[in-house]
Structure 1
Amino acid sequence: MTITSIISDSKPDLQPYEELYKELHQNPGLSLQEHFAAETAAKYLRELDGFEVRTNIGGTGLIGILKNGEGKTVLLRADIDALPVEELTGLPYASKKKEVDVEDGNEYSVMHACGHDMHITSMLAAAKTLHSSQKDWKGTLVILFQPNEERAGGAKAMIADGLYDPKKHACPIPDAVLGQHVMPLASGTVGTRVGSFASAADSFRVTVYGRGGHASQPHMTIDPVVLAAHIIVRLQTVVSREVNPREAAVVTVGSIISGRTENIISSEATLKINVRTVTPETRKAVLSAIKRIVKAECEASNSPKEPLWEPTSSFPFTINDEEVTNTVAAAFAKHFGDQHDSESPPLGGSEDFSILATEAPNKNGGKGVPYTYWNFGGVDPKKYKDALEKGTMSDIPINHSAYFAPVIQPTLSTGVDALVVAALAFLT
């Protein structure tokens, strides 16, 4: 029996899942506060007879384990957190939720601006499909819902909390870890790629120091705003003048905070810096250049003390295993046909997904099991084609935009199929 036939026989009616998606979209939770999503996922898994559900792993993380005879073990992962973004999509099911962030105590509008609600819904429908088709496959299936992906803390927290520890949460050791992400690509399409698939990301909060005083007497002060401005401008040369043009790197100063009023020169300024790189060599060079520039500009401004560096997050590289990726890609080619791209461009963003594989114990007594991560499209196919032909792709909302909202179908159906096809590629 082919995988496509199994899906045809076992895939549930997706109408209830479309309603579930809307409910999840209207009830987003910030990183570390994904209570509604976690409770919903646990409820759905518990309704599937045979699933062992284990909750509160590294926060709101959870797993569902379905043992179905001898065979390989496959782990499917979905992330569940939302973002501090005010939704502007105008959809009838748009989020109007506000939430106080436990990290800083501030209240924010909250939105699933990265599509994690689509990930959750696809995963639950995929779990239902695989549960209904147990006669057609053998092995162990692990469904994992991970919190706090946006701040690069969820996968680490689940590992640290004993995800694979036989005396704690006892997640079966997977032979392959699989995951996906909805992207601003044509809905109905899926994309795989061997090797580098997502960049590393390093974020820092850097505080530089001056000497405060009255705005009418700048000669009696050391202005940290001017110092920060020089740093920001100088950092723009790191990628353009210090990175090989054949490499990819991004340096972004996403925030600068200094002072409270216009007639006072502050005593310090804080910059929030985000760095994306795709190779270890470039990562090392870019981070070194940033620290050199900050230090030099502080000296040039006669700053009274050394800058303060505070790492805020760090995402690893996502480098897809060749054998696992080729196995998934071959199965996708049979099921999706020309809607599958085996040379999909690498993602611009970053992921902590790989930690669930690289930190898993393996059969050799060490760490690390193979993994692959793919994308699937969420943009109305006609809208995407028109934008491509007219050269207006910049009008397509991207992940983290207040306007990002995947079209429900065929996005949901594709997300479900991709998870099921990938899992069955190892379990049949």
Structure 2
Amino acid sequence: MNLWESFGLAVESIRANKMRSFLTTLGIVIGITAVIIVMAIGQGGRAMLISEMERFGTNLFAIYVNYEDGEGTRQGDFSDLDIEVIKQLVPEVKYLSPVRYDMMHVRGTRGEQSAEVIGTNGDYDEIRNFDFRWGKYFSRTDEEMGRRATVLDEELAVELFGYGNPVGQRVMLNGNAATVIGVLKKEESVLGWNSSKRAYIPYSMTKSITGWDMIHQLEGSARSKEDVNLAMERAKKILERRHHVPGHYLSYSMEQEMQSANKITGIMTLVVSAIAGISLFVGGIGVMNIMLVSVTERTREIGIRMALGACRRDILGQFLIEAVCICVFGGIMGIILGYGGASLVALFAKWPSLVSGKTILVAFLFSASVGLFFGIYPANKASKLDPIEALRRD
């Protein structure tokens, strides 16, 4: 009996017991569906996360105080002169900006709001790659001239001035007047980076409003992705020498954040895939049990076939192909449901549905492997039946 005949007999046997075959494949269907959805969510989420980070630039880095040494960032940990020295002595650093965070009461013509006010310099726009709805970021010239300017994010601008263009209007920051020179375009972020209401002002203006000199961290960008680590290390050494505090500064880069995100999403995908794998294993056991029942039910049929000349290999192949067919049919159903489920998740999560051909191929081969593995024992048992004893069975 050739392969096609065995396949035809397997299909006929499955069709003769439709409900039983369907219930048998449920474990395989659920497992394959879960594997595809999990892999698609993992790949799609990772792609969205990496895209979000790359939008800020893979050569971005920050330097901050080693909080384990004591109180954390204090006045004097960073200075304006540090930035000039680092930019002069570290050629790998392209842009560098002080960053200071303060909560201030902000008032416009149509409303007022408590908002996070960030003091930076003109390099910050280049570091963060801001996208503007109106206007522009303040420049080094604005800082040197002591211009009291501010850039608002779009959400805060709407709260303070309504939906019109507020560029040129005056805003009050803790009672101090500033002119709006730009509004950042609102962008949805899966990381929530654009969720809070923020205003950006020159660092020199922050000092004059609060009355004290304080920089929470330095943010910069290297000239290339390959220069990031060298730029961070050389900048930290300069700070340690200037402030006489070895080991006082730490750093992180967007590249390190991307690697950490990849590692975390990879572990999560692996864990959930393992759980889905357990479902496949349970489904495989169900297939083996049903095939054993099938062997028992068809003992007389096996005896007749052996009496007519079927050899052990024919019987083994017939039942093995039947087990593989059950699992493959379940795998195909799982692939269809998994693709649909992954597309729905991607639609609601607003990220791309990355169900690759490789994922589908792996799911298909895995389902066939489950049928092969769990079908061996029942098929082998059927092929070893004694023809005379089999014919006696009712």
Structure (1 or 2) with the greater strand fraction: 1
TM-score by length of 1: 0.17
In proportion to residue count, which structure has more helix? 2
- How high is the TM-score relative to the length of structure 2? 0.19
